């Protein structure tokens, strides 16, 4: 039985990791190296022939990628629960992984929220109308200057795999017939995830451990830290069960997602 907040299991076996991530939506693979090529190798060892794209890793250090650090990103503050890769619009990666190169002695703990269970809780709590609206109403999910996306928060692949998104730029579309209602729906979804995240168990990766996460189902965040040497290698993964692969060059950050 799933709970909305998740504490991932650990294994040193990539085959077992694949089974766990498909059953539990996340897993920690242990006994790995700490170099960028090790991060790419993890994706291939876990997903094998189902990999469509594994772009170059992103070096996540001191609160942001070393080459593209947002001016307002502060690692001494918590990173709220979110979906990765939303700059690529509807074709965001269906999995991602974080390989720890160096852990922070204090802080930097991660947490996960099972979005599918959040949806189930909304339905059971009498907020089924919110969920129905999430499936039916297209909202603007475009990060400024990135891949355009005007689509429902709760979507599906052709094979019926549910896709959820949570990130700061979600807003009513310009064509909305009910902007206040759409904003209320977005706010209800965010509140449900954030309230779950506040009580989620925290966990920390050690050097040579990789968290592998179902990015269509899970949202994730982390606690603040101050160690400037903390290092994670982030890899976005597109598999054969994804909605599709974005056109153009790919990276495990948004550097190639810019359209303007």
Residuewise pLDDT in 10s, the chain (260 residues): 345 667 899 999 999 999 999 988 899 999 999 999 999 999 999 999 999 999 999 999 754 444 455 555 567 788 999 999 999 999 999 999 999 999 999 999 999 999 999 999 999 988 879 999 999 999 999 999 999 999 999 999 999 999 999 999 999 999 999 999 999 999 999 999 999 999 999 999 999 999 999 999 999 999 999 888 899 999 999 999 999 999 999 999 999 999 87
pTM for the whole structure: 0.92
Spatial separation of the C-alpha atoms in residues 177 and 21, rounded to whole Å: 39
Whole-number Å distance between alpha carbons of 137 and 192: 18
Radius of gyration of the chain (CA): 17
**What domains are there in the chain, each with its CATH number?**
5-239 (3.60.130.10)
Question: Which alpha helices (H) appear in 62-173, and where do they start and end?
Answer: 115-124, 128-136
Distance, CA of 165 to CA of 216 (rounded, Å): 7
Tracing tokens 């170099």 back to the chain, one arrives at 35
Exposure string over 149-170, b if 16+ CB within 10 A, otherwise e: bebbbbbeeeeeeebbbbbeeb
**DSSP assignment string, 232-260:** EEEEEEEETTSS---SS---SSSTT----
Alpha-carbon gap, residue 148 to 177, rounded angstroms: 20
């Amino acid at each position: 039985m799933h709970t909305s907040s998740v504490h991932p299991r650990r294994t040193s076996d990539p085959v077992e990791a694949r089974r766990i991530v498909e059953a539990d939506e996340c897993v920690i693979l242990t006994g790995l190296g700490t170099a960028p090529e090790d991060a790419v190798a993890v994706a291939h060892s876990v997903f094998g022939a189902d990999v469509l794209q594994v772009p170059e890793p992103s070096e996540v250090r001191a609160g942001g990628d070393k080459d593209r650090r947002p001016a307002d990103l502060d690692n001494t503050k918590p990173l709220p629960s979110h979906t990765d890769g939303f700059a690529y619009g509807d074709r965001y990666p269906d999995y991602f992984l974080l390989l720890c190169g160096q852990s922070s002695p204090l802080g930097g703990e991660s947490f996960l929220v099972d979005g599918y269970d959040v949806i189930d809780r909304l339905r059971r709590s009498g907020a089924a109308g919110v969920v129905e609206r999430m499936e039916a109403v297209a909202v603007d999910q475009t990060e400024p200057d990135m891949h355009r996306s005007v689509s429902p928060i709760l979507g599906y692949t052709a094979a019926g795999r549910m896709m959820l998104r949570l990130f700061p730029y979600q807003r009513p579309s310009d064509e909305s017939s009910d902007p206040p209602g759409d904003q209320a729906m977005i706010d209800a979804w965010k509140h449900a995830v954030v309230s779950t995240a506040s009580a989620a168990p925290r966990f920390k990766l050690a050097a040579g451990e990789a968290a592998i996460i179902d990015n269509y189902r899970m949202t994730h965040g982390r606690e603040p830290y101050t160690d400037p040497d903390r290092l994670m290698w982030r890899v976005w993964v597109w598999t054969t069960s994804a909605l599709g692969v974005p056109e153009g060059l790919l990276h495990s950050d948004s550097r190639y997602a810019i359209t303007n």
